Amino acid sequence: MDKLVYNSGMPEGEFGFQHIAVAPHPEISVAVEETEHIVSFLRDQGLRVTSGLLYDENFHHRINRGEFDLLIALGGDGTMLRAGHLCGPHGVPILGINMGRFGFLMEIQQDGWREAFQRLLQGDFWFEKRMMLIAEQVRGDRILGEWDVVNEAVVSRGGIVRPVQMEVNVDGRFLATYVADGMIAATPTGSTAYALAAGGPILPPELRTILLVPIAPHLSIDRGIVLAEGSSVAIKVHTTHQAVLSVDGQPPIELADGDYVNVHASSHTLQFIRFQDPGYFYRNLTPHMNQNPSIGITR
């Protein structure tokens, strides 16, 4: 059977990236070490390459200024989320090399990057486009904060083990009142993350939908709901104790009684570099589901 080639749109053999950034997770020593080899390899091909750490503010500013047109991220799925927050709003594609324990979002294993880079140089790859969300914290008539979302925005109880009452509206119309540990608003990418653990469905990554999944609902609707891309969700918190908003596992933001968390589709689209054929998602799903990402730390 002939090899299938899903080309990026460049002529075969023509490399289209002018300035490549290579960014390891700073706490994964093998990723930092491997970065040196990758930078040397790419420079030997005559390419312009810069290395930096994903948590370095100067590196963030350079991405924001549009200095790079490809980011190679070394780490685990958490690294890809961080890269997505940085690159998605600026249209910078991401290629992930797995140095973590799970790597569901990653494209290349640690020992396979040289072969993969040869394909990259030949234009033998495709862009996988994934939907992002925007989450806003609203108090009264003020927007207190706005965040890009790759996986999910979660409204939940804080340190006190007591459920939160949440009034959920979709497109300005009342949907339901939940008494639960929380509510997840996820992208299709996030459907295999926290939403899956909470009993939600697995959605194909190319879909452009919003997934709502309650967490441990008490005498409330206990099924996930899939909404169209154009929908907007408003989650109003009613609580006398702590409630929080957490975006993609980042540090929680405290919510006051009466605060809204509004979630809607972002105008930004996340782009991953892929070498596998588009059917890879289902082919890799079962092996990944047979692993337990909570054993150890996925960074």
Residues known to be catalytic = 77
- Do 157 and 164 meet the contact criterion of CB atoms below 8 Å apart? yes
- Pull the structure tokens for residue 97: 């090399």
- Do 205 and 188 meet the contact criterion of CB atoms below 8 Å apart? yes
Alpha carbon distance 139, 145 (integer Å): 10
Alpha carbon distance 48, 21 (integer Å): 9
**Cβ neighbours for 286, distance < 8 A, ≥ 6 positions apart:** none
Closest CA to 4 of 260, 291, 275, 288: 275
Q: What is the largest CA-CA distance in the chain?
A: 64
Closest CA to 89 of 272, 253, 271, 261: 271
- Do 181 and 164 meet the contact criterion of CB atoms below 8 Å apart? yes
Question: Per residue, what are the HEC states of 85-123?
Answer: HHHHHHCCCEEEEECCCCCCCCCEEHHHHHHHHHHHHCC
Other CB atoms within 10 A of residue 195 CB: 26
